[in-house]
Amino acid sequence: MAHYSSADWSRYCRGALDRNRRRRMERHLLRCDRCLNSYLELAGEEEAEAAALLLPDFEANLWRLIRRKQREAARKRKSRLLFNYIAAAVITLVLMAGGAFDAVAAGLPALLKETRHIPRLINETVAAGLPGELFHNENRAD
Ligand SMILES: [Zn+2]
C-alpha cells in the first residue's frame, strides 16, 4: 500500500487539495494506521483547523463503513452458526445410520444398573464429612 507523506497530510489539513484527492486520502485513512497516525499528529497541532476542513460527509462515510463492517461480521457469524447446525445434523444422521444410538440404548439398562449405587455413595461421603485432604493446602507455610 502506498502511503501519503506528512506534506500531503499537511496540504490535506490546510484544505489545499481538490475534492477527489481528499476523498482518496480519507478512504486511505480508514484502512491505514500509519497514515492515520501522521494525520492525527498534524490534526493535534492544527486540531481546530483540521476538524473544520474535513469534508462534511466524512463522519457519515465513516459510520456507513462501520455499519457495513458490522453487517459483514454478523453475516459471517450467521453462516458459521448455520454450518454448525448442518454439521451437527449430518453427524446425527451418520450416527443414526450406523446404529450408534441403538447401541447406546441397548447398553443403557446395564449402565444404569452399574451406576445405581453412585448417588448412595455420594450421600454417605457427604454425610461422613468430606475428606480433610480436600481442604489441606500443602503449600501453606503453617
Ligand atoms: Zn498509508
Quick one: average pLDDT of 8-15?
A: 88
pLDDT of residue 8: 93
CA atoms within 13 A on the CB side of 15: 10
Ion ligand 1, residues whose Cβ is below 5 A away: 3, 32, 34-35
* pLDDT tens sequence across 75-123: 888 888 888 888 888 888 888 888 877 887 888 888 888 888 888 888 8
Q: What is the distance in A from the centroid of ligand 1 to the CA of 3?
A: 4
Cα three-residue angle 64-66-71, rounded to 5 degrees: 95
User: 129 — phi, psi (to 5°)?
Assistant: 90, 140
| Residues contacting 61, CB < 8 A, separation 6+ | 26
What does pTM read for this prediction? 0.34
pLDDT band at 138 (very low <50, low <70, confident <90, very high): low
Q: Is pLDDT of 140 > 60?
A: no
| CA distances for 98 relative to 35, 46, 65, 84, 95, angstroms | 59, 72, 49, 21, 5
CA 75 – ligand 1 centroid, Å? 29
Q: Output the CA angle 71-2-25, nearest 5 degrees.
A: 60
Taking the centre of ligand 1 as the mean of its atom positions, its distance from the CA of residue 9, in whole angstroms, is 11
Distance 108 CA to ligand 1 centre (A): 64
